[in-house]
Amino acid sequence: MNEALSWDEFRLVKAISDSGSLGGAAEILGLNHSTVFRRLAALETTVGARLFERSREGYQPTVAGDEMIAVAITMADSIIGFERKLAGRDLRPSGQLRVTTAEAIGQQLLPAIMAQFRAQNSGVVVELKLSNQMLNLSRRDADVAIRLTNDPPEALVGRRLCAVRSAVYYRRDLASSLGSQPLDSAPFVGFGDSFGPTAGRRWIETHVRPGRLVGKINSTLSLRELAVQGLGAALLPCFLGDVSPALIRLTPPLPELETGLWILTHSDLRRSLRVRAFMDFAGAEIVRQRRLIEGADGEDAIARGPSPAPAATRP
């Protein structure tokens, strides 16, 4: 092989490997199928070896293909690392900032914070990625993560803002019909498959009999709406349940479900002005709402069955 290989050729091989097909690689690279086919054929001619075997499972790399893919991964990691270091040398807060967090936090807590931050930092464009999956900050899937975790990744830096506490909520005007043991008699809406915190799923499995489970869903905000509509009780973060006038707690915050709320970034980005500006601002604003997030604002709003008659007062 006399011709030098370019980064684009390594990207091509990696894209085919990642997707398992030429069509998938074309989508990743923004090309059409025939272009990918021609470029792969030309590359195999250049290196003098087949890089992929086609099977029912798709395009499977050969030994030569595996070696080229390993180099492509190393090159991609180096490029991403270089981009992270450049992003940390901003002269002023400006440019695009990608922030990831869970759906409930992103919709309930962050809109006002984003608007206020933008008013003070007009050069920064915040892209909010709502995902209950842990996006990879090392690969620049996001620049800042606001995560619910008790064990943040060691590669990330940041701080714990507060605790997120959860309780069981039920529709307020239906709670009196549950009797003196409301938690034992209320119908329940649970988490859909592969959704929800592990501790929360475990709590439901332990405390809610299967016959009382009337529905499941894979969205925390939709779970609250089902509770508001009266379908059943729901296990909700206090910052979602306590702000809904239609709901009342059936339990105080459950200690076994307490989770830390962290704001994190990659160590290479911690000196970036836009990252630091957002983390400082958003962190302070979230801490201002600590009582709501930790459930302190709803401590007295717990349904405990029929209330006793008030004691007679002395004249």
Q: What is the pLDDT along the chain (315 residues), one digit of tens a residue?
A: 556 788 888 989 999 988 989 988 988 888 888 899 999 999 988 888 899 998 888 899 999 989 898 888 888 777 766 665 655 555 555 688 999 999 999 999 999 999 999 999 989 999 999 887 665 554 557 889 999 999 888 878 899 999 999 999 999 999 988 888 888 889 999 998 888 888 999 999 999 988 899 999 999 999 999 999 999 999 999 999 999 999 999 999 999 999 999 999 988 887 788 999 999 999 999 999 999 999 997 765 555 443 333 333 333
Name the one residue in this structure whose structure tokens are 């090309």: 31
Please indicate, yes or no, whether residues 142 and 171 belong to a single structural domain of this protein. no
d(C-alpha 95, C-alpha 136), whole Å: 20
Question: What pLDDT, on a 0 to 100 scale, did the predictor assign at position 309?
Answer: 34
φ, ψ (nearest 5 deg) of residue 205: -60, -35
CATH number, domain with residue 208? 3.40.190.10
Question: What pLDDT, on a 0 to 100 scale, did the predictor assign at position 5?
Answer: 81
In the structure encoding, which two tokens stand for residue 298, read together?
């709803």
Question: What pLDDT, on a 0 to 100 scale, did the predictor assign at position 195?
Answer: 85
Q: Is 303 part of a structural domain of the chain? A: no
pLDDT in tens, 20-41: 899 889 888 888 888 999 999 9
Tell me the C-alpha to C-alpha distance, in Å, between residue 211 and each of 19, 90, 183.
Answer: 42, 57, 14
DSSP designation for 298: G
Please indicate, yes or no, whether residues 220 and 252 belong to a single structural domain of this protein. yes
Q: Is 42 part of a structural domain of the chain? A: yes
DSSP designation for 149: -
Q: With contact defined as beta carbons under 8 Å apart, do 17 and 24 qualify?
A: no
Q: Is 297 part of a structural domain of the chain? A: no
d(C-alpha 301, C-alpha 293), whole Å: 15
Please indicate, yes or no, whether residues 69 and 121 belong to a single structural domain of this protein. no
Please indicate, yes or no, whether residues 117 and 35 belong to a single structural domain of this protein. no
Q: Is 282 part of a structural domain of the chain? A: yes
Q: Is 61 part of a structural domain of the chain? A: yes
> Could you give the angle at which helices 33-47 and 7-19 cross, rounded to 10 degrees?
120
Parent domain of 55:
7-87
d(C-alpha 304, C-alpha 115), whole Å: 40
Please indicate, yes or no, whether residues 130 and 279 belong to a single structural domain of this protein. yes
Please indicate, yes or no, whether residues 207 and 140 belong to a single structural domain of this protein. no
CATH number, domain with residue 76? 1.10.10.10
DSSP element (H, E) containing 145? strand 144-148
Last residue of some domain: 37, 55, 87? 87
Please indicate, yes or no, whether residues 236 and 118 belong to a single structural domain of this protein. no
Last residue of some domain: 238, 257, 276? 257
The residues, any chain, with a CB within 8 Å of residue 10's CB and separated by 6 or more, are 68, 71, 72, 75
Last residue of some domain: 257, 281, 297? 257
What Rg, from alpha-carbon coordinates, does the chain have?
A: 26
DSSP element (H, E) containing 58? strand 58-61
Helical segments of the chain, H only: 7-19, 22-29, 33-47, 63-87, 103-108, 110-120, 182-185, 198-207, 220-228, 238-241, 273-288, 290-293
Please indicate, yes or no, whether residues 57 and 11 belong to a single structural domain of this protein. yes
Q: Number of structural domains, the chain?
A: 3
Please indicate, yes or no, whether residues 173 and 206 belong to a single structural domain of this protein. yes
Q: With contact defined as beta carbons under 8 Å apart, do 109 and 65 qualify?
A: no
Q: Is 2 part of a structural domain of the chain? A: no
Question: What pLDDT, on a 0 to 100 scale, did the predictor assign at position 135?
Answer: 54
Give the sign of the dihedral formed by CA 106, CA 196, CA 220, CA 306. negative
Q: Is 294 part of a structural domain of the chain? A: no
Q: Is 298 part of a structural domain of the chain? A: no
Q: With contact defined as beta carbons under 8 Å apart, do 60 and 53 qualify?
A: yes
Question: What pLDDT, on a 0 to 100 scale, did the predictor assign at position 210?
Answer: 83
Please indicate, yes or no, whether residues 155 and 268 belong to a single structural domain of this protein. yes
Tell me the C-alpha to C-alpha distance, in Å, between residue 118 and each of 53, 64, 147.
Answer: 51, 50, 21
Please indicate, yes or no, whether residues 225 and 178 belong to a single structural domain of this protein. yes
Please indicate, yes or no, whether residues 229 and 190 belong to a single structural domain of this protein. yes
Q: Identify which of 216, 173, 209, 171 has the alpha carbon closest to the alpha carbon of residue 191.
A: 216
